[in-house]
Amino acid sequence: MSPPNPFKMGSKAYIYFEIANVDSDGFSDTVPLSVLALHGLKTSNGGDWCRTDGSLGVIFNVERALEKGKISSVRLCGYRKNTFERRIDKLMREHYRKMPCVVLAVSSGHVEVDHKDGRYDRYGKLSENPLDYQPLHKCANDAKRTHCKRCKESGFRFNAQILGYSVPQYKGGEKYNGSCIGCYWYDPFEFNKRISDIRGVIDAAYDLGL
């Protein structure tokens, strides 16, 4: 189910949001130029309505594919990040340290409170949203830190197929486009859940002979 359209009715950003099938995490379908043109959204080389500093880009990470120097498609790659401090509130630490590691399923004095977003691109106020954190054993947190560092250096997100999963990311592509959602290390628990749900649908269809 799509979230409410945040743009002024009738604006180009509003029209794009209506046709792009935007999900609750701010990711959309890739909308090709042919479809954009049908809805009056044919763009200039600069992108006008889909610029990263325009109304669309203020809220979402905008990816614009190019062919021969011209925009060939537009898609959204998640909401732009909320800024937060790297410091973690004491109460948040106490809450998560009592929980088992989401990767190793063990509880011990070695469980650490981890920021799901491992990039720390910008800093602002301290996040009070529990969903921004997760419990990780020190070993798992060290591994995550290494992979996040590689992602930041290369621009490519962690490929979960290395761990035996059927897909590299459950949402978004291999390139980092401003959002960590869909990457295994952003939320291993959610990653497992999403892949299990997908596998369940496929198995059910197979059982029904579809």
Q: What is the pLDDT of residues 86-139, one digit of tens each?
A: 677 788 888 888 899 999 999 888 899 998 988 865 545 567 788 889 999 999
Q: Given this model, what pLDDT does residue 205 score? A: 47
Helix (H, G, I), strand (E, B) or coil at 191: helix
108: left (phi over 0), alpha (psi -120 to 50) or beta: beta
pLDDT value of residue 140: 96
What percent of the chain is modeled with pLDDT above 70? Answer: 86
Average pLDDT, the chain: 86
pLDDT, tens digit (0-9, with 9 covering 90-100), for 42-54: 876 667 889 888 8
Q: 29: closest CA among 69, 80, 61, 73? A: 73
126-175 residue pLDDT tens: 677 888 899 999 999 999 999 999 999 999 999 999 999 999 999 999 99
Is residue 36 a contact partner of residue 12, using CB atoms and an 8 Å limit? no
State how far the Cα of 198 lies from the Cα of 201, in Å rounded to an integer: 5
The CA angle 192-193-199, to the nearest 5 degrees, is 85
Domain segments of the chain as ranges: 12-79, 90-199
